[in-house]
Chains A and B, each alone.
Chain A
Amino acid sequence: METISIEGTPKTPTITFDTGKGFLEIKGRSIPENSIEFYKPLVDWLEKYAAKPQSATNVNIQLEYFNTSSSKCILDVFKKLEAINKGGSQVTINWYYEEDDEDMLEAGEDYQAIINVPFKMVQVEE
């Protein structure tokens, strides 16, 4: 079990994945021109983790901005989590949004409608 992390940049988020604790966090901005390249390592780690997951997996998504190029990749990440949830680990996705950021709340609800994993919408102050 290990912790994997990617440090954030002005266009990409900080990713922390503690496989021992079953904790994944994506935080910051996700607006790269090429999202597939950026998200590939995370999708690969989730694939590995899926073979031997913890009994519970908690996921925090705390994005300030994300572009449409990232949105399909984030869906891919959620689809991996959906498979992990089916495979016996209890997955919870915490979707953070700032108080008056209706667009970010709606984006969370869009995913919630597509993905069969419990979502928690978490409002934070600005």
Chain B
Amino acid sequence: MMLDIYDFYDKMERNNIMLSFKGDITSELLTSILQIMESKLDNLQEEPKIKKKVYNVLVECLQNLYHHMDEVAPEQNDKIRSAIFMIGKLDNQYNIITGNYIKNENVAGLKKRLEDINLLSKEELKEYYKAVLNNGEMSLKGGGGLGMIDIARKTGEKLNFNFSPVDNTFSFFTLNIKISQ
């Protein structure tokens, strides 16, 4: 079946997608994407405050994908080493949508973590962030579980997420982050 590219284009246009990507997430890719997004934000003449927030949250979302790749598929040519992300702006609200495979055995843990974060108030998020920052635990590359807390804190919104079962081994995890002006 031929992919209906116009249908694709039309949907992206209607959702005001500024940038989208599907494929392997590498460090070089992220450097380029961040540069492109920074100049787009400059061209839109966003207030520095909004620009910084969007950029910061974008860094966390994309680096989440990047760090996650190695966990799911350490082998280089694996098909599931692929993720998707879209960045759009609709009605003065930025949307960052990411999607990636996750092992079924890890779904419950991540779901619980995100639900727990969603229960916290602004003040509780601040305290939680400080506690995790200072707990001495660090992943090999320095992450250490702060990313999602930081996203929730900076956006002031609940984390909107979904898990779609794919097969016996994998599910597809979607995160939809809103940044309002």
Using a CB–CB cutoff of 8 Å, the interface residues on chain A facing chain B are 10-11, 31, 33-36, 64-65, 67-73, 75, 98, 100-104, 106, 110, 113-114, 126
Residues of B within 8 A of A (CB): 27, 30-31, 34-35, 47-49, 52-53, 55-56, 59-60, 63, 66-67, 126, 129-130, 133-134, 138, 140-144, 146-147, 149-150, 154
The answer to whether A101 and B146 touch across the interface, beta carbons within 8 angstroms, is no
Query: Per a CB cutoff under 8 Å, which of B48, B53, B63, B67 touches A98?
Result: B48
The dominant DSSP class at the A interface is helix
A103 contacts B142, C-beta separation under 8 Å: no
Q: Is the interface of B mostly helix, strand, loop or mixed?
A: helix
Bound Cα distance from A114 to B31, whole angstroms: 32
Once A and B bind, how many residue pairs between them come within 8 Å at the CB atom?
76
- A110 and B63 in contact (CB under 8 A), knowing A10-B35, A69-B141? no
The reply to whether B141 and A36 form a contact with Cβ atoms under 8 Å apart is yes
Do the beta carbons of A70 and B133 come within 8 Å of each other?
Answer: no
Which A residues are in CB contact (< 8 Å) with B67? 33
A31 to chain B, nearest CB (A): 5
Task: Please name the residue on chain A nearest to B47 by beta carbon.
Answer: A100
CB atoms of B133 and A101 under 8 A apart: no
A70, B147: Cα distance in complex, Å: 11
Whether the pair A114, B134 counts as a contact (CB closer than 8 A) is yes
Q: Which 5 A-B pairs have the closest CB atoms?
A: A68-B146, A35-B142, A69-B142, A36-B142, A34-B141
CB distance from A98 to the nearest CB of B (A): 7
Q: Residue of A at shortest CB range from B149?
A: A68
Chain B residues within 8 Å of A71, by CB: 133, 146
B133 and A33 contacting across the interface, CB-CB below 8 Å: no
